Amino acid sequence: VALADWRACVSVSLEGAFLFAKYAAPLMKAQRSGAIIVTSSTA
């Protein structure tokens, strides 16, 4: 695996999870309820 391809894959996975949590957390906090389950696959 080329390093650039590896970095692109990791970046998409990490940034996607981070941004989702960043914008979902305030909504869940306002509702006083919620859960975030992060999964990933390289398949």
- Structure tokens that stand for 15 in this block: 């940034």
Model pLDDT, residue 12: 86
Q: Which residues contact 38 (CB under 8 A, 6 or more apart)?
A: 17, 20, 21
Task: Please state, as a whole number, how many other Cβ atoms lie within 10 Å of the Cβ of residue 14.
Answer: 12
Collapsed DSSP state (helix, strand, coil) of residue 32: coil
Q: Is the pTM of this model over 0.85?
A: no
1-43: pLDDT as tens digits: 999 999 998 888 899 899 999 999 999 999 999 999 988 776 6
Domain positions in the chain: 1-43
